[in-house]
């Protein structure tokens, strides 16, 4: 496990260390999923293809919130 530190800005923003961004292939403008579980903040890259969903259900998921998320994403897809 690698551990890095980052400071919270006055606007509530954090910087993800470059080493972590590189390992996850994150670039400016990429979307992230942020959730709160057991007193911790979890940050994950937003899945961009089905292969990224592998292992997602290993975590405890609030099905109601998952359904809300899916519905909000589907609304974005509608033309």
The residues, any chain, with a CB within 8 Å of residue 46's CB and separated by 6 or more, are 30, 31, 32, 33
Task: Quote the strand ranges of 3-46, DSSP E.
Answer: 32-37, 40-45
pLDDT at 20: 93
Identify the band that residue 65 occupies on the pLDDT scale cut at 50, 70 and 90. Answer: confident
pLDDT at 13: 94
CA distance 61 to 58: 8
Q: Nearest-CA neighbor of 23 among 48, 1, 55?
A: 1
Q: Domains of the chain (ranges plus CATH)?
A: 18-77 (2.10.260)
Tell me the whole-structure pTM to 2 decimals. 0.55
pLDDT in tens, 3-34: 999 999 999 999 999 999 999 889 999 889 89
pLDDT at 67: 83
């Amino acid at each position: 496990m690698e551990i890095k530190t980052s400071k919270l800005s006055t606007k509530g923003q954090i910087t993800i260390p470059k080493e972590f961004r590189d390992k996850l292939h994150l670039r400016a403008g990429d979307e992230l999923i942020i959730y709160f579980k057991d007193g911790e903040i979890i940050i994950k890259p937003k899945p961009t293809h089905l292969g990224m969903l592998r292992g997602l259900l290993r975590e405890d998921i609030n099905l109601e919130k998952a359904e809300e998320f899916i519905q909000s994403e589907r609304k974005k897809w509608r033309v």
